[in-house]
Chains A and B, each alone.
Chain A
């Protein structure tokens, strides 16, 4: 991997999360859902790493496993704490989780579900401060500061979430995530529940905050245009695996994996005369039935015998001048795909 550890704030290595499928009265384990299957990537300091893929591909599970809302089946998650110490989140004792979690903020997908309807904005944003023992007097000042930072009027503090619009609620959610001055922000589809016009505002707010506060983002989305707008680097996930990873510009101009290319072809073009023909047929396979071979083989228009027999590894594309373009495809160097 080209990213040397010292510039990565989060380094995920061979992360796996399998959910057992239990059957019958005795809860016999009949198989596993491989929600996250050997995923490696890193988030560089001050940058935004995008994780993109269709629903059910394991994006959110990856994030949840990183912050230990799920226990990883295998793998390491190296996180650089403020003072430079690097800790493996996946192996950390439960008791120490709290001390690390203050450095990781999380923004949730649905701003209607992520704010407790029975709490005022002050209580919601001050909640993390309370958990880490910030005194009452200081809390209110900090909340006012945070609200201003995300573009809300501090006088809205005593109101309840129902008095706010979706975009405003998401701003409250962002303020809460920033309350403890984290160094990494994990944003799980932070704009997918919002109107398109509001999406842009929130994305710009996130970009501004990143530059102003020196944050790093792990940004999860299914919308390629959102990803293109905010991310420096993108990993494309399909059925629990990363199939391609590259800098945003490279990925969007020279996609090397057939899946990435078909995702881009599926983007609607705002021109009624231009034909729109998404290239993909068939359904996403069941994540419980992944055997040998490439995860994408049964839908891939270029698939050959080798694709069904051998699982391709995520490797640097050799014909590419950029050495940081990683593709998991047997024919990565031969295929000519257009964006």
Chain B
């Protein structure tokens, strides 16, 4: 694994979009981790005497309608976004992968029940489905995360099922069965490690989408509470000011855009590097 892992890292390092994507994400990760050190103001503190200030040395990205420092709010907002992305993906991968593996490995009626349920969720637009789920659970950031996780479960279930179906027929899986391995050991040892590549790719791409959907929910008032430094919520709060103080809306918009772009670039690069069929195209890029 070490050799292989090193080879993948080397190929990633020579892949332009991987480097750009990873740099963007690293930048936001640093913002999130060191937010208290980097932020210049309290992100929640309103200073009415300094409303709608433009870019300046005192307020790098200006202030919003109630005088909160936008730079500090962006910095703290990156914490929320990364949290949403990571938690939502972890949740939906765990559940989706489990369902997909069960469906793919055991097949039959179990497969039918699981996959038909997934089929019912897939055609609905993600944001709509997420809104319905939040409407049922109630408005809060936690519920928005849960909603996003549920929305992405079918994708992972499908990917894992397809991978398991393919790998299940491999001789080394039959070999494992013949030498007395239990179903759990076959799944865990023989099948799962060989499904990881498509999963990593989808998880990276999915993380960007999850952040986008969560921001969308907050923008619609279904996610983070009013006043919280969340990028989507910031867009919502300041949307009437778009003519008078465009920076109040632009800055969180650009932050969302960059994060999602970073995940997409890295995800595409990972697909190039991990998927042997596309490997050649990845090198020529």
Residues of A bordering B, CB below 8 Å = 67, 69, 98, 101-102, 104, 106, 108-110, 113-119, 127-128, 131-132, 160, 173, 176, 179-180
Q: How far is the CB of B195 from chain A (nearest CB, A)?
A: 10
Interchain CB contact under 8 A, B179 and A176: yes
CA distance A117 to B190 in the complex (A): 9
Q: What is the predominant secondary structure among interface residues of chain B facing chain A?
A: helix
Report the separation of the CA atoms of residues A102 and B179 in the bound assembly, to the nearest whole angstrom: 7
Pairwise interchain contact B190-A116, C-beta atoms closer than 8 A: yes
Let me know if B174 and A127 touch, CB within 8 A.
no
Q: Across the interface, do A101 and B172 meet the contact criterion of CB distance under 8 Å?
A: no
What distance in Å separates the Cβ of B1 from its nearest Cβ neighbour in chain A? 7
In the bound complex, residues from chain A placing their C-beta under 8 Å from that of B179 are 101-102, 106, 127-128, 131, 176, 179-180
Chain B 35-56 interface residues, beta-carbon cutoff 8 Å to A: none
What is the minimal beta-carbon distance from B172 to any residue of chain A, in angstroms? 4
A118 touches B1 (CB 8 A): yes
Cβ–Cβ < 8 Å partners of A118 in chain B: 1, 193-194
Taking Cβ atoms with an 8 Å cutoff, the residues of B that contact A are 1, 3-4, 170-172, 174-182, 185, 189-190, 193-194
* CB–CB A176/B175 < 8 A: yes
A residues in contact with B189, CB < 8 Å: 116, 119, 127
Query: Do A113 and B170 contact each other (CB < 8 Å), given the known contacts A118-B194, A131-B185?
Result: yes
Which residues of chain B come closer than 8 Å to A98, judged between CB atoms? 180
How far is A127 from B181 in the complex, measured between Cα atoms in Å?
8
Given contacts A116-B190, A116-B194, contact A131 B180 (CB under 8 A): yes
- Contacts A108-B171, A116-B176, A118-B193 known; list 4 others, CB within 8 Å: A69-B174, A118-B1, A128-B180, A131-B182
A115 touches B180 (CB 8 A): no
Bound CA–CA A150/B157 (angstroms): 42
Q: Which residue of A lies closest to B167 (CB)?
A: A116
Contact assessment for A113 and B4 in the assembled complex, using a CB-CB cutoff below 8 Å = no
A108 touches B175 (CB 8 A): yes
Q: Whole-angstrom distance between the alpha carbons of A82 and B1 in the complex?
A: 39
